[in-house]
Structure 1
């Protein structure tokens, strides 16, 4: 991801995320449907913030312990070692719902001092959790076509689907259904 550009239409969410971290919230869970931009938001925030350890959990569900041991270069693999080594800000992208991963995260929250920002489709259900619901970008249904094309939702669609030509291709189908 190019860190020179913030995710389209997410300035408020980035500011709120930073505010929650500064307030000392121990677990910020960026929750939402698949494809809504959770990972993009987390990765941009982590890349533009100092001292964040980022762990991609997507391909490693059930193996968070091994990923943390590698990230913190630990020689022993115990809860105590992980709790002691895990300091500062830790970003866990796509924590998933594997029971071992969630149990380890809860142990680290209960006995450590690190702050965590995670992405997940559901709440982790920990007392220190602040669920940060992320939704799709809004689009004003009363906007003119010119106004709509300036909206972050349409700009993001354009960037990922080949520009306004793609919108023209889908317009008959959309208008027929609406």
Structure 2
């Protein structure tokens, strides 16, 4: 598999990854507005077809009054024909390597509980405090798990309420 980095998700890439799946991210019942990712890390198979992708954004968070930048990961997807081969893990690992070069101390992501195990195996830790995300009419509580990982050696996520200064990603 070749690792590729690209900007916003195109319709062509989206179709290659999602196919005809109705709701590949299981967000149909989520009432939050989500942000488009500015950059992506993907995996291409030997034929050049995009088969996995993770979106990335840079944003700020406030934790107990302290503001700092984070890399937000989201939209992790593996095409249906390539699932079960460890490509979800690999594309997130590649995205984390890219995130390290961007500078922030932490990366965060939002996920459903049934997917949290994969991220725990990669070193992500759940944020135990309330997490609020920006929405068109103010802030709303994040209803999915919010997890963090250090991008630069051992570190601890600060305690306290988290306000993400962005739509969720």
Structure having the larger proportion of residues in strand? 2
Rg larger in structure: 1
Same fold (TM over 0.5): no
TM-score, reference length from structure 2: 0.27
TM-score, reference length from structure 1: 0.26
